């Protein structure tokens, strides 16, 4: 049986952590790619991880390089490349820089791995997924963004902390954009089948939701840098669902046309992920308040995409 192949573009904290989680899960051979200036460092990280194999007992080939030829015929490509927003940098400045980075990456990937599924992690997430789709020319089902898996993990973590119970017993759902734009749905959140609204007072639950929305900022304040373990874990969770054709229902930034009345944008929705990428967008009923929050989130996504389009055309 042919071993799966995962390429991770960007060998910084998120990319290197993706490689670690993918190796630990023994998902397949791993290629870690970064720009030529970081070629030696990337090769070193790959070698360091490969030397964990005898201890952690995983079998896979791990390559660190700046040459996209090594990504040939990858099944999944995780794009983490891009710069974080720096003090004094406007949103448009960040979009402009990362559009060019994701554009260059997507062009290279399309040449060597034309049948792969792209998982985009770069920020601003919704605009970068759109960029990867436009540049790669891939069908919409094979381009998807990782944000919801991270946001929902934070949401579930904070609920488990509040109730002092296992995170494994918490099931949750959210829609919309990443971070501030996420739309958690308490009506669809349960603990071992018990509605969370019966276990946590509404005011306290709202505080937990707000903490989840600000989860990335909380990490930055504590560490001075963006989170990387959890974003990487969410990305590899998606890759595993695709590689193993698990058909898991996970919150992802997926292309929605008629779904939720979005009209042709990538937004956070529950999806069935399998070997074809996004096999289906799952639609759930929303009440008036939830619909309003989602519409607001989608409007912000559209604004970001318009900015990205301007720089793509330029």
Annotated catalytic sites, by residue? 178
* Those residues with Cβ within 8 angstroms of residue 195's Cβ, 6 or more apart along the chain or in another chain: 187, 189
Q: How far is the C-alpha of 205 from the C-alpha of 114, rounded, in Å? A: 44
C-alpha 273/C-alpha 248 separation (Å) is: 5
Query: DSSP string covering 93-116, please?
Result: HHHHHHHHHHHHHHHHHHHH-TTP
* Tokens 């020319």 found at: 137
Dist. CA 265–CA 303, nearest whole Å: 11
Helix, strand or coil for residue 60? coil
Q: Which residues of 157-173 are buried (b: 16+ CB within 10 A; e: fewer)?
A: bbbbebbeeeeeebebb
């Amino acid at each position: 049986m042919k071993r799966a192949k995962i390429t991770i573009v960007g060998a910084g904290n998120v990319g290197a952590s993706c490689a670690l989680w993918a190796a630990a899960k023994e998902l397949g051979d791993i290629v870690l790619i970064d720009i030529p200036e970081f070629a030696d460092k990337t090769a070193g990280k790959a070698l360091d991880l490969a030397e964990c194999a005898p201890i952690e007992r995983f079998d896979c080939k791990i390559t660190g390089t700046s040459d996209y030829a090594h990504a040939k015929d990858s099944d999944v490509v995780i794009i983490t490349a891009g710069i974080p927003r720096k003090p004094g940098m406007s949103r448009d400045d960040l979009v402009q820089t990362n559009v060019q980075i994701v554009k260059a990456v997507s062009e290279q990937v399309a040449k060597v791995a034309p049948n792969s599924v792209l998982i985009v992690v770069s920020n601003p997430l919704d605009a970068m997924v759109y960029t990867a789709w436009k540049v790669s020319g891939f069908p919409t089902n094979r381009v998807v963004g990782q944000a919801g898996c991270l946001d929902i993990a934070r949401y579930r973590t904070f609920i488990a902390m509040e109730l002092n119970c296992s995170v494994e017993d918490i099931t949750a759902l959210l829609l919309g954009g990443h971070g501030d734009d996420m739309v958690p749905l308490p009506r669809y959140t349960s603990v071992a089948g018990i509605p969370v609204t019966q276990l946590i007072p509404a005011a306290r639950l709202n505080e937990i939701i707000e903490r989840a929305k600000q989860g990335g900022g909380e990490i930055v304040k504590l560490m001075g840098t963006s989170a990387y373990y959890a974003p990487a874990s969410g990305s590899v969770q998606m890759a595993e669902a695709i590689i193993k054709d698990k058909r898991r229902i996970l919150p992802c930034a997926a292309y929605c046309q008629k779904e939720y009345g979005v009209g042709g944008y990538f937004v956070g929705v529950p999806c069935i992920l399998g070997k074809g990428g996004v096999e289906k967008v799952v639609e759930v009923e929303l009440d008036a308040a939830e619909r309003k929050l989602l519409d607001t989130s989608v409007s912000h996504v559209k604004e970001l995409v318009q900015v990205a389009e301007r720089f793509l055309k330029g």
